[in-house]
Amino acid sequence: MNVVTQVFALVAALFHVAIFALESLFFTRPSVRRTFGGRAGIPAEVDLWAFNQGFYNLFLAAGPIAGVIVYHAGHRAAGEALTLYACAFMLAAGAVLVLSQRRLWRGALLQALPPLVALIAAAL
């Protein structure tokens, strides 16, 4: 697994860790709600959804991080497989995001571009 693949996989993971923080730790702040297109008067159920969605992103971020660690621990095939699977998952999630709501294209691009670069670099 080349360096470009590893760097962009880790960038993708860091993005998902940041989204975890926004969704699970800071979502109730008005400035964070606006980041996600929220407004005043959102039901409490949305807070619970955001909290859980944040952990989904945190667990997803663990894939490339663990993959790169496993790769450098000497289990190259397993580390590469885990890293590339997680990147493919992130890329697919970004595609679903933009297809489900076109106005979220910036977030989808931020979510999908780093893992796409990692996957392309791995294929070269």
Question: Residue 40: its pLDDT value, please?
Answer: 60
Query: What's the pLDDT tens digit per position in 27-62?
Result: 878 777 777 666 666 677 778 888 899 999 999 999
List, for the chain, all residue ranges whose pLDDT scores fall below the cut of 70.
Answer: 36-42
| Residue 35 structure tokens | 């980041």
Domain boundaries defined on the chain: 3-123
DSSP per residue over 6-66, as a string? HHHHHHHHHHHHHHHIIIIISTTSHHHHHHTT--TT--HHHHHHHHHHHHHHHHHHHHHHH
